[in-house]
Amino acid sequence: MFIPNRVLLEKESLDYPLGKELYDRFRNDSEVEIIKLTSNKINQYIPGEDMYKKYREGKKTLVVGTKKSLKFQSCKPSAHYQLPLVSGCMGQCEYCYLNTQLGDKPFVRVHVNVDDILNQAKKYIDARKPEITIFEGAATSDPIPVEPYTNSLKKAIEYFGKEEFARFRFVTKYNDVDSLIDAKHNGHTEVRFSINTDKIIKEYEHYTAGVKRRIEAAAKLADSGYPIGFIIAPVFIYDNWKEDYRELIDMLYTILPKDIDKPIGFEVISHRYTTKAKNTILQVFPETTLPMNDEERKYKYGQFGYGKFVYTKEELQDMKDFFQLEIDSKFKNKNIKYII
Ligand code: SF4
């Protein structure tokens, strides 16, 4: 569970019941510093003179605010819109995409005007119906660690459960899903778990749940009828990588219930990085052992000059064949969305 060192409250947040509830909860905790903000200058309250320290202190900072602009960001290709309940994450994964996306805002931010956000979602749903509109709840966050404080995910799950023309999805590296088990989801929310081998999690995914716990959490949600999926990412090629990833897929097979009636989603993504991400990672994790030697990778040109360093064509083909075979051999009722 996320235990912040400091909680910063934006003024308007106290106009909402959830804002007041969070204020009451933390002000009685002598370990937590409470700051009522008078402006939106959040960074000045996060100690640390450089990115290394700011990152670590930011990760222990909870900002309680409201979502002011209710124009949702698009979220292609996996969903139509981001659902902006939370941004940031307590985890410290070295390759996290948030390191570059939220580099100067490493704090966790929750929005307490949840009803306004869901009412806005309704407008997007109505504008597209009878087409289904998909909302992504983890585009700029991992929403699970703050869920015990806000219960916003559960509220969103139940909201979308009643919407015929909407679907909700989010992804997590955590296991604290018990409060979601009895939510009336109506099969409209897909929960995906990002998983990796033990070695990779221990080395790079600091302050996240272990892989077995994540899979056990997925099993509980599958038992409650949620569609579930797994993102195996980022996949690294290292000594014995095939043995380790085979063990991971075996573990999935062993722990998951055998009678899941909805296809299990699989997305497999190889490790890649941009020069911008590499530079940020080296500032925040100067001792990182992440394989980011440009000479060993193929440069893949991207849009707007943001090319990526990816594994070579042969390595990627090997990876593709390997995962296709391993997943096929274990799971009948599955949907391999992509292996890239
Ligand atoms: Fe980033 Fe996900 Fe790790 Fe959080 S758990 S730091 S969102 S990769």
As for ligand 1, residues whose beta carbon falls within 6 Å of it are 89, 91-93, 96, 98, 142, 173, 205, 208
What pairs with residue 88 in β-bridges? Answer: 141
Angle between the N-to-C axes of helices 51-58 and 275-284, in degrees from 0 to 180, rounded to the nearest 10: 80
Integer Cα distance of 260 and 268 in angstroms: 21
Strand partners, 10: none
Give the Å distances, CA to CA, from 54 to 41, 43, 141: 14, 9, 18
Structural domain boundaries in the chain: 6-339
SS3 call for 262:
coil
Q: How far apart are CA 26 and CA 38, in angstroms?
A: 18
Give 188 Cα–ligand 1 centroid separation in angstroms: 24
Atom nearest to 194 CA in ligand 1: 2
DSSP 77-107: TT-SEE--SEEB-S-EETT-THHHHTTT--S
pLDDT (average), residues 173-184: 98
Residue 191's nearest CA partner among 164, 163, 219 is 219
Mean pLDDT score, 27-38: 94
Q: Are strands 308-310 and 298-300 parallel, antiparallel or unpaired?
A: antiparallel
- Structural contact between residues 245 and 232, judged by C-beta atoms closer than 8 angstroms: yes
Quick one: pLDDT at residue 99? Answer: 86
Task: Read off the pTM.
Answer: 0.96
Distances (CA, A) of 121 to 75, 83, 116, 138, 186: 14, 8, 9, 15, 18
**For ligand 1, mutation pick of 59, 93, 147, 271 (most atoms within 8 Å of CB):** 93
CATH code at 6-339: 3.80.30.30
pLDDT at 133 over 80: yes
ipTM above 0.90, yes or no: yes
Q: How far is the CA of 141 from the centre of ligand 1 (A)?
A: 7
Q: pLDDT of 75-117, one tens digit each?
A: 998 899 999 999 999 999 999 999 888 767 889 999 999 999 9
Q: How far is CA 240 from CA 41, 62, 172, 194, in A?
A: 48, 40, 26, 21
Residue 305 in this model has a pLDDT that exceeds 80: no
How confident is the prediction for the chain on average, in pLDDT? Answer: 96
Residue 116 is predicted with a pLDDT of 98
Express each pLDDT in 230-287 by its tens digit: 999 999 999 999 999 999 999 999 999 999 999 999 999 999 999 999 999 999 999 9
| Cα distance between residue 141 and residue 171, in whole Å | 9
Q: Which residue's CA is the nearest one to ligand 1's atom 8?
A: 96
CA-nearest residue, atom 3 of ligand 1: 93
Q: Are 323 and 268 in contact (CB under 8 A)?
A: yes
Reported as a single tens digit per residue, the pLDDT across 280-295 is 999 999 999 999 999 9
Q: Could you read off the pLDDT of 137-165 as tens digits, one per residue?
A: 999 999 999 999 999 999 999 999 999 99
Strands 108-111, 86-87: pairing kind: antiparallel
